[in-house]
A and B are shown apart, each in its own frame.
Chain A
Amino acid sequence: MPQGDYIDLHRKRYGYRLDHFERKRKKEAREVHKRSQIAQKALGIKGKMFAKKRYAEKAQMKKTLAMHEESSTRRKVDDDVSKGAVPAYLLDRENTTRAKVLSNTIKQKRKEKAGKWEVPLPKVRPVAEDEMFKVLRTGKRKTKQWKRMITKATFVGPAFTRKPPKYERFIRPSGLRFTKAHVTHPELKCTFNLDIIGVKKNPNGQMYTSLGVMTRGTIIEVNVSELGLVTPAGKVVWGKYAQVTNNPENDGCINAVLLV
């Protein structure tokens, strides 16, 4: 049984085959033809995947070639005007900047009063009732149709207990209940897995808000203690609003963007 670096040892002792380098060179030269043959003959999903990969490679190659071929030409230099730069005849003047300083809290209070918020998804496709609810037939002869099952993702709080089954009208299946959301911070550009505290507003209607249904565009409140945000006063922020950006029933998870 060969042990250790037996391949290198054999090469050291006996050298290479007499035609080794020629064969290697020829094999590498043939690779080009082989690859082109595969590209022409591969059918179906394999062909598509190969074509996609090859296209990306070619695009990259073109870019590097163009970069190498850049010739040195004289180009006009556009210097950006720096902020606050004044022309020469205005130097030596003291400019006073008058700006209204308003604290963040006052701004927020005003917005709340107005009831208008700036959100990433201002408009959302309306969801029809028959899409949202599935009719359940109940009763001995299965003729009663007053129960509805919600087919979208929902949130129920931790203290949730069902109404007695005989009287509950809207059924929220436990398989479609979510407690966590993947929340992206728009400035930091990173995503955290945060707990949901509650559903604030569903754009499709106030009934859905009260049921806790989360569709695309819903505003939810998430627990941001993980992020370690602090108010100017020194208090720790632990709840913030976020807007749902995907269709949770199609993806199996809730993706949201934090509203800062």
Chain B
Amino acid sequence: MVQYNFKNITVVPNGKDFIDIILSRTQRQTPTVVHKGYAISRLRQFYMRKVKYTQTNYYDKLSTIIDEFPRLDDIHPFYGDLLHVLYNKDHYKLALGQINTARNLISKIAKDYVRLLKYGDSLYRCKCLKVAALGRMCTVIKRVAPSLAYLEQIRQHMARLPSIDPNTRTVLICGYPNVGKSSFINKITRADVDVQPYAFTTKSLFVGHTDYKYLRYQVIDTPGILDRPFEDRNIIEMCSITALAHLRAAVLFFLDISGSCGYTIAQQAALFHSIKSLFMNKPLTIVCNKTDLQPLESLSEEDMKLVMEMKAEAMKTVVGQGGEPTDDQGVLLTMSTLTEDGVIAVKNAACERLLDQRVEIKMKSKKINDCLNRFHVAIPKPRDQKERPPCIPQAVLEAKAKQAAEKEKRKTEKDLENENGGAGVYSASLKKNYILANDEWKEDVLPEILDGHNVYDFIDPDILQRLEELEQEEGLRQAEEVDDDFEMDGKELTPEEQQALAEIRKKKSLLIQQHRIKKSTAESRPIVPRKFDKDKQFTTRRMGRQLSALGLDPSKAIDRARSRSRGRKRERSPANDGGDAMDMDVDTPNKRLRMRSRSRSRSVSRPPGELVPGEGFRDSAQKVKAQKLAKKSSKKRNKDARRGEADRVIPTLKPKHLFSGKRSSGKTDRR
């Protein structure tokens, strides 16, 4: 796992839920209907499918569990050791092994039962075999349930482990409990580690990131270590020891010289000497913290001696890295996290030493040799003894000298930034060069709303002048408007024109009113097409009225409209008929007339029991009997069990099928 992100492991369900999930999935995703009468091969296939489907699901889910949990031997030894310390490697491996065994057992069960199903010769037998197969698979999972619960707990804990990259630049902080390690990391990174006055506040590793010289460094905060023999250490201390042992990092050993952590310098020095084997090949810095309570210079003789001993040890690591034996600027540092005095210096020193060490190692490694071989600086061979120094024009030299002087004179923002901790830590004050009437106003916060007005609306130096201009424009425009109004009414109309105008307006308003009525009721009322003319608006009379109002003669138009309308009864005269219906019988008009005039006489029927020769009855009594039988057989059965029409017996007052059961949708209020 390259990313060492344990948050992506899928949730491990607990035993019972696991079984429920798989079985309900089998029930939903495989066909459910089967009948006794199907062909035996179809029955067998139906049940075999269920067994195989269940086995496949179990196999898939168990495989994801086994694959996603990290194998302690395949990951970086730091993580392998950390997980061993936290969860006990043996337990962990056993649990995963049990899951693997369960997976194999389930596969075997499925294979056996599918083989047996081939001999199933009845629906009942196949069904029993399928039930047995599924039951056995679920029993295997039930037996393995404690392992599943254990793995789920581990997963939850692993997801909250800090994601530490073991190969990148790392700074490790260690020391006794309560010396100020977490405060330090809070100061230089954005990690928000809990800081409390009691020991072992930090119970696990925390990681934060910081920048130095455009490179990202990991800073790891460890729980405090006590001075104890190795076997007696508890899990929390073992976390720090693991980190110290496996990570190639710059180590900051914190020393509380004021003794306010509850341990003397002697005890802390003893711890240092007992774990100094872990500092092999790592750039070590001794950091004396809490100098605000007790400065380094005013320590007692013995304490000073101890500190110097520790410093000597630390110097050995400098030598080991190829640094100068007398170069002690990064080995013993003092700081105070409370007053933030020297914190940045410590960080810079540690980062610098780590960078140097890493560069050294890279230079010495084989890889760089491959690169170096490819570099070659070509120097031309001298052809004579003449000196040829580089030619720089005088003006450039002068400019360079001037620039150098200027650079020295002025302190740039960049310098300021570097002094105060670098790009991520220092934020420049952008307001310090503001030009304001009163210099004290520079750091003030600008309000956004004042007295109900937006302040930004008024930020303009010429605002008063612009206000005046606007007001002038407003005045002009208002004057123009007044003129326009008068122009409209000034036009003179003749009395006839005025009358016509009034009429037009009246008609227009009428139409509008009608349309509004129609529109408002159109939604609630279906619109009847015009041809049915519900309101009887479009009558010929109305048309006649309108035309005469306009001064035209309506009679001809009315006639034409009337002749064209459908459904009008026409008085048919024989002459008209003969002309229209060409392929009709000549007799038909007479026939129709005849039929209309004559009244119908009823047809005569036979009496009920009369014997008709062709029907096959012996005598009329037999026929009557036969008719009676026919009627009886088609009589309605008395399924209500009522004695008559007035009998209102209810055989069951509350039939079960009507009063019980759930509804798939809706409530069961009404029964």
A-side interface residues toward B, CB under 8 Å?
Answer: 1-6, 9, 12, 40-43, 45-47, 134, 151, 173, 175-176, 247, 249-253
A3–B662 CB distance below 8 A = no
Pick from A4, A12, A47: contact of B203, CB under 8 Å: A4
Contacts A3-B206, A175-B118, A252-B112 given; indicate if A41 touches B662 (C-beta within 8 A): yes
Q: Chain B residues near A151 (CB, 8 Å)?
A: 119, 121
For residue A252, which residues in chain B have a CB less than 8 angstroms away from its CB?
Answer: 112-113, 116, 129, 132-133
In the complex, chain B residues 97-135 whose Cβ is within 8 Å of any chain A Cβ:
112-113, 115-116, 118-119, 121, 124-125, 128-129, 132-133
Q: Which residue of A lies closest to B28 (CB)?
A: A45
A257–B386 Cα distance when bound, in Å, is 114
Bound CA–CA A9/B193 (angstroms)? 9
With a CB–CB cut-off of 8 A, which chain A residues contact B203? 4-5
Q: CB-defined interface of B1-27 with A at 8 Å, one 1/0 digit per residue?
A: 000000000000000000000001001
Question: Of B116, B162, B206, which is within 8 A of A175 by CB?
Answer: B116
What are some 17 contacts across the A-B interface (CB < 8 A)? A3-B161, A4-B160, A40-B668, A41-B662, A43-B662, A43-B664, A45-B24, A173-B119, A175-B116, A175-B119, A249-B119, A249-B125, A250-B129, A250-B132, A252-B112, A252-B129, A253-B132
Q: Which of B162-191 contact A (CB under 8 A)?
A: 162-163, 191
Contacts of B133 in A (CB 8 A): 252
Counting from the closest, the 8 A-B pairs by CB-CB distance are A250-B128, A3-B162, A251-B132, A175-B115, A252-B116, A252-B132, A4-B204, A250-B125
* Interchain nearest-CB distance for A50 vs B (Å): 11
Q: Which of A6, A41, A173, A251 contacts B128 (CB 8 A)?
A: A251
B244 contacts chain A at the CB level, 8 A cutoff: no
Cβ of B206: which chain A residues have Cβ within 8 Å of it?
3-4
**B51 CB to nearest chain A CB (Å):** 11
A9 engages B128 (CB within 8 Å): no
Q: How far is the CA of A1 from the CA of B160 in the complex (A)?
A: 9
Does A176 lie within 8 Å of B160, measured CB to CB? no
Does B287 belong to the interface (CB within 8 Å)?
no
Mark contacts of B319-336 with chain A using CB atoms, 8 A cut-off: 1 yes-contact digit, 0 otherwise: 000000000000000000
* Additional 4 contacts, C-beta under 8 A, given A40-B668, A250-B125, A252-B116: A3-B162, A12-B194, A47-B662, A251-B132
Instruction: Give every chain B residue within 8 A of A176 (Cβ-Cβ).
Output: 116, 119
Chain A residue with the shortest CB-CB distance to B162: A3
* B343 adjacent to chain A (CB < 8 Å): no
For A173, give the chain B residue with the smallest CB separation: B119
Interface membership of B250, Cβ < 8 A? no
Complex: A81 Cα to B119 Cα, angstroms: 59
How far, in Å, is A112 (CB) from chain B's closest CB? Answer: 36
Q: Tell me if B288 counts as interface (CB < 8 A to partner A).
A: no
**From residue 150 to 167 of chain B, which have CB atoms closer than 8 A to chain A?**
160-163
What are the residues of chain B within 8 A of A42 when measuring CB–CB? 662
- Nearest CB of B to A1, in Å: 7
B207 within 8 A of A: yes
B-side contacts of A247, CB under 8 Å? 128
Set of chain A residues within 8 Å of B116, measured between Cβ atoms: 175-176, 252
In the bound assembly, the distance between CA atoms of A90 and B662 in angstroms comes to 71
Distance, CA A184 to CA B260, complexed state (A): 70
